[in-house]
Amino acid sequence: MTTDTAIMRGFQKLSPDDLFSLEQYSKQRPQFRPQVLAHKRRRTLQVGPNATILFEDRLTVQYQVQEMLRIERIFESAGIADELGAYNPLIPDGSNWKGTLLIEYPDPEERKVALAGLKGVEDRCWVQVAGHERVHAIADEDLERENDEKTSAVHFVRFELTPAMVAAAKAGAAVSVGIDHPNYRHAVEPVAPEVRDALVADLA
């Protein structure tokens, strides 16, 4: 496999041929799961005390699909196609970063009140490559996760970068991530080098 082919493969959507069968996954999971969790740690960013963004890539998406197939005991082709259809859009395309936003409050009552006050928070997530404007998230393109009373505790977000931003990030520019909702303003400026390197790996 050439370098260009390897790079492009990282942006390709998963197909059934890329997945372990249930039997194969049962055997591979003890080795596969720790590798993926270590990989995810380099792609997970705590933004303030109650929000986390996991920046997804092909490996994190494969893991999610494999776990869903395992939990639901899905082995028929239609069911596998449904899971791939749900999660493949989270794989970055080379000009963007994609993530899962988790809003976390351990106490159920506190969470209920907080989510009511955080409507629209998914749209107020941002990334910034040093020297360029902030890029706010495009959120929940698959379905609406907010109602008249509250927002959801889980959102899918996409950050579209300009070619100049991509070039700057790949050249070593710092990257910052934050949320600027009126009821939740926190930022990581800049993100740690290992997180920045993981994000740069998502860019073509």
pLDDT of residue 1 exceeding 60, the answer is: no
According to the model, what pLDDT value does residue 21 have?
95
Tell me the pairing of strands 184-188 and 175-181.
Answer: antiparallel
Domain parsing of the chain, residue ranges? 1-41+58-91, 43-56+92-204
pLDDT of 52-64, one tens digit each?
999 999 999 999 9
Which of 175, 176, 201, 172 minimizes the C-alpha distance to 60?
A: 201
Specify the pLDDT at position 12. Answer: 85
Task: Please give the average per-residue pLDDT across 169-179, as a whole number.
Answer: 97
How far apart CA 100 and CA 52 sit, in angstroms, is 8
- Position 184 scores a pLDDT of 97
Decide if pLDDT at 146 tops 80. Answer: no
* Predicted confidence band of residue 143 (pLDDT cuts 50, 70, 90): low
24-77 tens-digit pLDDT: 999 999 999 999 999 999 999 999 999 999 999 999 999 999 999 999 999 999
Across 170-177, average pLDDT: 97
pLDDT tier, 141 (very low <50, low <70, confident <90, very high otherwise): confident
Average pLDDT rounded to a whole number, residues 167-177? 97
CB atoms within 10 A of CB 82: 13
Helix (H) or strand (E) holding 63: helix 58-72
Name the nearest CA neighbour of 165 among 136, 203, 191, 119.
Answer: 203
Strands (E), the chain: 44-46, 51-55, 96-103, 125-129, 135-136, 138-139, 154-160, 175-181, 184-188
- Give the SS3 label for residue 72: helix
Residue 6 has pLDDT above 60, yes or no: no
pLDDT tens-digit series, residues 184-196: 999 999 999 999 9
Whether 193 and 54 have beta carbons less than 8 Å apart is answered as no
Give the model's pLDDT for residue 5: 38
pTM of the model: 0.88
pLDDT bin (cut points 50, 70, 90) of residue 201 is very high
